[in-house]
């Protein structure tokens, strides 16, 4: 699948909301991963898919049906909207609303939560770049230890040490030694 731009994401989510509204539903979803960075921070131009969690969860079959309609209309794969990042989500948080349209409201996870996810994933230059931006956002108003303490509750059990090393390396690359 080609990369999805901010406008393509917005258009697809608005269409998803239209389909939900036509069925008498309002979707509330929290985006995480690349879509949260693209929509919430405008620091990245695109992402491969939209990782989202729906709360409260409507019938999963309905969401898949609506997403399949959108995929067909846009000639996108059926997994353009997915919950694949749920393995990186510990204690879902709700940050600012990014999109509100008929049938849909989209928010992102908090900056601390997104940073925890990126530190636990730490797979490639994209994760590192995203984590650097998120850390910079937090460092404007918090000190290093305060940031780390706010990230800890969202770390995946068993990935705490990896995240700590990633955090330390990232902090040093951005701000020098503590």
The confidence band for 60, taking pLDDT boundaries of 50, 70 and 90, is: confident
Q: What is the pLDDT of residue 84?
A: 83
Are residue 95 and residue 127 in the same domain, yes or no?
A: no
Model pLDDT for residues 137-172, shown as the tens digit of each residue: 999 999 999 999 999 999 999 999 999 999 999 999
User: Residue 157 has what pLDDT?
Assistant: 94
Condensed to tens digits (0 to 9), the pLDDT of residues 72-115 reads 999 999 899 998 888 778 888 889 999 999 999 999 999 999 99
* Of the residues 109, 142, 165, the one at which a domain ends: 109
Query: Do 103 and 137 have their domain in common?
Result: no
Q: What is the pLDDT of residue 56?
A: 66
What pLDDT score was predicted for residue 1?
58
Domain boundary pick from 58, 93, 109: 109
pTM: 0.91
Contact (CB, 8 A) for 116 and 163? yes
The DSSP output letter for 155 is: S
What pLDDT does residue 89 have?
A: 84
Question: Do 82 and 127 belong to one domain?
Answer: no
Q: What are phi and psi of 54, to 5 degrees?
A: -100, 125
In this structure, are residues 83 and 21 in contact, taking their beta carbons and an 8 Å threshold? no
Boundaries of domain holding 72 = 4-109
Number of domains in the chain: 2
Q: Are residues 31 and 75 in the same domain?
A: yes
70 has a pLDDT exceeding 90: yes
Which residues are CB-neighbours of 61 under 8 A, at least 6 positions away? none
| Contact between 64 and 44 (Cβ < 8 Å) | no
Same-domain pairing of 61 and 123: no
Q: Are residues 11 and 69 in the same domain?
A: yes
| Under 8 Å between Cβ of 40 and 99 | no
Judge if 95 and 119 occupy the same domain: no
One domain for residues 139 and 91: no
Helix axes 125-139, 33-41, angle to 10 degrees: 50
Cβ-proximal residues to 38 (8 Å cutoff; 6+ apart), any chain = 4, 5, 6, 9, 44, 45, 46, 47
Within 10 angstroms of residue 155's Cβ, the number of other Cβ atoms is 21
**Residue pLDDT, tens place only, 103-128:** 999 999 999 999 999 999 998 898 89
Residues 150 and 103 placed together within one structural domain of the fold: no
95 and 15 within one domain:
yes
């Amino acid at each position: 699948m080609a990369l999805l731009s901010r406008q393509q994401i917005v258009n697809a989510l608005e269409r998803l909301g239209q389909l939900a509204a036509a069925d008498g539903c309002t979707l509330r979803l929290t985006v995480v991963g690349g879509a949260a960075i693209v929509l919430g921070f405008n620091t990245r131009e695109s992402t491969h898919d939209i990782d989202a969690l729906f709360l409260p969860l409507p019938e999963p079959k309905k969401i898949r049906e609506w997403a399949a309609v959108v995929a067909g209309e846009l000639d996108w794969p059926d997994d353009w909207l997915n919950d694949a990042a749920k393995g990186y989500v510990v204690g879902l948080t709700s940050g600012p609303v990014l999109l509100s349209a008929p049938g849909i409201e989209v928010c992102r996870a908090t900056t601390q939560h997104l940073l925890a996810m990126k530190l636990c994933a730490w797979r490639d230059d994209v994760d590192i770049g995203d984590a650097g931006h998120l850390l910079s956002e937090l460092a404007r108003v918090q000190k290093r230890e305060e940031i780390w303490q706010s990230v800890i509750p969202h770390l995946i059990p068993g990935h705490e040490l990896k995240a700590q090393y990633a955090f330390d390396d990232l902090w040093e690359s951005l701000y020098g030694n503590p």
